[in-house]
Amino acid sequence: MGLISLLWGIVAMLLMFVGLIPLLGWLNWLWIPFAGVGAIIAALGVLLTPSGKNGRAKAGLVLNGIVIAVALVRLSLGGGIV
């Protein structure tokens, strides 16, 4: 699960950069749920793997959390969240 969440976080991060382009900010409405699913997978990976081997899951959780935070900030700056 750790590898899946890490790859999911990397893909979400790359897609988030597309949402930072002017006039494409509405795409963040798609990336936030995508990263949310990745965060859930990462949280399950952190909980279900032994403490010494859950580094990838923690990295995926951090990446997905960053994507959610940046996408929410981008939406609030662009007027997507009223």
Count of H-run helices and E-run strands, the chain? 3, 0
Q: If you compute the radius of gyration of the chain from its CA atoms, what whole number of angstroms results? A: 13
Q: Is the pTM of this model over 0.75?
A: yes
Amino acid identity of 52? G
Dist CA 39 CA 55 (whole Å): 14
Query: The dihedral of CA 8, 13, 14, 18: what is its sign?
Result: positive
Give the closest residue to 61 by CA, choosing from 35, 37, 34, 39: 39
Residue the block writes with tokens 């699913």: 37
Average pLDDT value for the chain: 90
Residues 27-36, mean pLDDT to the nearest whole number: 92
Q: What percent of the chain has pLDDT over 90?
A: 61
